[in-house]
């Protein structure tokens, strides 16, 4: 029988790539997305158009926070796996519009949990963020580190999602994996992300804002590598036996947290240099102090992910940036 996956946020950056991968692997994919106007909905629609060209994809538009909407859909379709990627994203936007994060990330995620409780899938997988590590300074970030000092309201909602999911896993025996993403980039990325903004500005001859005077590093993770990790994790629901000493498995629930990152941070200045090489143009750098809610560095400890699913591909930063710039040129030409 064909496996069936429900993906929330299917028209988003990561949801689009994950949907394409599962379709290629023979899954039936049910996409759910609100197509909100946080950024240009034409980009979301273009992703969706490509997905809907595949007969294995079915789309349902709606807002997660609409009470009972997702529960009815899950009861009707009975997916084998639920992958919850929909969220109000962005560290900086959460300072200006925190209510949208309450609606999408807290109330919306509660609706996902209720749907999964009513009709349990074999595995519930939900997106969290490396921002959950907040004020931690020990590197690399390990899943067993405390995540109690968020630096942004966005991060606070994602930590709350992890706690909410753990309670449902404990109360209802719902196998749940939370994955913490580390600075995902690649073709079809969001316009509010640094790679998109930097590429657009450099090609237009406009200055780019470089925070903390460029003294920052990020564990840049190419989207195809991330999707490979998620895809493998679907078949690895948490049980009752720890995999290794690095395991974050709960002592009372079928629940774990897993980092998905490249495991090798890069300097922001090297990231900009890669964009310059791919565009063939020099950036005009507007050096600025650190922004509120941001952190100077991220770095994923990937030992648990490797123990669970084996080593993942690690796309070279220059190669990944070059693929994005090639896509951006074609998209912008439209």
Q: What are the residue numbers of the active site?
A: 154
CA 181 from chain centre, in angstroms, equals 5
From residue 238, how far is each of 8, 88, 128, 250 by CA, in Å?
21, 27, 17, 9
Strand residue runs (E) in 121-183: 123-129, 176-181
41 Cβ partners below 8 Å, 6+ apart? Answer: 35
Q: What is the token pair recorded at 268?
A: 């922001």
Q: Please list the residues that pair with 31 across neighbouring strands.
A: 7, 59
Of the candidates 168, 153, 80, the one whose C-alpha atom is nearest the C-alpha of residue 123 is 80
How far is 242 from 289, CA to CA, in rounded Å?
43
CB 60 within 8 A of CB 52: no
- The DSSP result for 111-164, as a single string, is HHHHHHHHS--SEEEEEEEGGGGTT--SSSB-TTS-----SSHHHHHHHHHHHH
Of the candidates 162, 218, 168, 170, the one whose C-alpha atom is nearest the C-alpha of residue 195 is 218
How far is 333 from 103, CA to CA, in rounded Å?
35
Of the candidates 176, 169, 12, 6, the one whose C-alpha atom is nearest the C-alpha of residue 90 is 12
């Amino acid at each position: 029988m064909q496996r069936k996956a429900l993906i929330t946020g299917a028209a988003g950056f990561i949801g689009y790539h994950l949907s394409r991968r599962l379709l290629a692997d023979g899954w039936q994919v049910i996409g759910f997305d609100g197509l909100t106007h946080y950024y240009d909905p034409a980009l979301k629609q273009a992703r969706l158009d490509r997905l809907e060209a595949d007969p294995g994809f079915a789309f349902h538009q709606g807002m997660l926070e609409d009470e009972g909407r997702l529960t009815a859909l899950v009861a009707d379709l009975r997916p084998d796996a639920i992958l919850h990627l929909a969220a109000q994203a962005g560290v900086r936007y959460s300072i200006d519009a925190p209510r949208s994060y309450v609606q999408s990330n807290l109330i919306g995620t509660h609706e996902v949990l209720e749907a999964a409780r009513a009709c349990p899938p074999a595995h519930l997988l939900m997106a969290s963020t490396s921002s959950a590590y907040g004020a931690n300074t020990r590197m690399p970030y390990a899943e067993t580190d405390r995540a109690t000092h968020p630096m942004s309201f966005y991060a606070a909602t994602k930590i709350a999602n992890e706690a909410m999911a753990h309670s449902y896993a404990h109360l209802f025996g719902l196998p749940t994996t939370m994955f913490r993403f580390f600075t995902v980039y690649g073709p079809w990325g969001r316009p509010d992300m640094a790679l998109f903004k930097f590429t657009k500005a450099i090609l237009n001859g406009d200055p780019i804002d470089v925070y903390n005077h460029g003294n920052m590093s990020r564990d840049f993770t190419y989207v195809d590598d991330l999707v490979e990790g998620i895809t493998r994790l679907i078949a690895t629901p948490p049980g009752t036996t720890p995999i290794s000493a690095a395991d974050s498995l709960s002592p009372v629930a079928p629940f774990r947290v897993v980092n998905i990152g490249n495991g090798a941070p890069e300097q922001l200045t090297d990231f900009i240099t890669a964009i310059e090489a791919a565009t063939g143009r020099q950036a005009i750098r507007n050096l600025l102090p650190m922004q509120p809610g941001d952190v100077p560095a991220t770095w994923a400890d990937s030992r648990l992910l490797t123990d669970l699913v084996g080593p993942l591909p690690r796309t070279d930063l220059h190669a990944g940036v070059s693929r994005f710039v090639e896509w951006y040129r074609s998209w912008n030409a439209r």
